[in-house]
Amino acid sequence: MHIADGIIDARIAIAANAVAVAAIYVSGRKTTIEEIPKMGITGAALFVASLVHIPFAGTSVHPGLYGLVGIILGKRAFPVIFTVVLFQSMIFQHGGLLSVGINSINMGAGAFAAWLIWRQQALPEYLRAVFAGFIGIIIPVLLMATEFQLSGYGRGILYLFSIYILAAVVEGVVTLSVVKFFRRIKSDILT
């Protein structure tokens, strides 16, 4: 789901970088010392998960975990996602340096939506976990598909979207499994 440099107009990418910096400031403001280890560990897990590439239907997908990151970090997810995307682009050329902002916004939107879903206490926890994991992938894919269409780079994007629907279902199940694990071991990471 990383958009490479040159696909999105450079002016839009630069504007997205400015929006991403503002989002880092807003979502990272008043971060407490107690939150930093959880942010670091979650970022490390997100980074490592992105290294697991699974060949599927002529392309490859990797776990995003944006729903889980949204559940664990809430509004603190965006600075972590931005940092992970920045390191992925510098070390592995996933996306590009100019595209860090737009990639972070796409993925961060999925985490933010997952956090909003997780906060809906009227729904059972298992349903919130599955839906948060699912939406954590679908939102970035929808944003990316829209950006590709607007940039005239849209051929085959519907095929890509269909692949990621299956990935989103798997993410929902994985997110539920991790939430159940944290509840079983009585971890306070979900609070």
Q: What predicted TM-score, i.e. pTM, was given to this entire model?
A: 0.92
In a domain, 50, yes or no: yes
For the stretch 152-184, pLDDT in tens is 776 667 777 778 888 899 999 999 999 999 999
Q: Among the listed ranges 1-15, 78-92, 177-191, which one has the minimum average pLDDT value? A: 1-15
Number of domains making up the chain: 1
Looking at residue 55, its pLDDT comes to 81
In a domain, 28, yes or no: yes
Q: Please tell me which residue, 3 or 175, carries the higher pLDDT value.
A: 175
Strands, E, within the chain: which ranges?
54-56, 59-61
In a domain, 120, yes or no: yes
Instruction: Tell me how far apart the alpha carbons of residues 147 and 189 are, in angstroms, rounded to a whole number.
Output: 34
- Confidence check: pLDDT of 94 > 90: no
- Confidence check: pLDDT of 142 > 80: yes
Looking at residue 37, its pLDDT comes to 95
Looking at residue 2, its pLDDT comes to 82
Q: For residue 31, what is the DSSP state?
A: -
In a domain, 191, yes or no: no
> Computed from CA positions of residues 52, 55, 2, 173, in that sequence, does the dihedral angle turn out positive or negative?
negative
CATH code, 138: 1.10.1760.20
To the nearest whole number, what is the mean pLDDT of the chain? 91
Quick one: average pLDDT of 50-68? 83
Quick one: average pLDDT of 33-50? 94
Instruction: Tell me how far apart the alpha carbons of residues 84 and 47 are, in angstroms, rounded to a whole number.
Output: 6
Q: Please tell me which residue, 95 or 176, carries the higher pLDDT value.
A: 176
In a domain, 97, yes or no: yes
User: Where does 29-156 have alpha helices with state H?
Assistant: 35-49, 66-73, 77-92, 100-118, 125-150
- Confidence check: pLDDT of 113 > 70: yes
In a domain, 168, yes or no: yes
List Cα–Cα distances, 159 to 48, 110, 133, in angstroms. Answer: 26, 20, 21
In a domain, 5, yes or no: no
The domain of 43 spans 10-184
- Confidence check: pLDDT of 57 > 80: no
Instruction: Tell me how far apart the alpha carbons of residues 151 and 158 are, in angstroms, rounded to a whole number.
Output: 15
Looking at residue 135, its pLDDT comes to 97
In a domain, 2, yes or no: no
Instruction: Tell me how far apart the alpha carbons of residues 182 and 39 are, in angstroms, rounded to a whole number.
Output: 16
Instruction: Tell me how far apart the alpha carbons of residues 110 and 127 are, in angstroms, rounded to a whole number.
Output: 17
Token match 């694990």: residue?
181
Q: Which of 102, 111, 158, 105 is nearest to 134 (CA)?
A: 111
CB of 100 closer than 8 Å to CB of 60: no
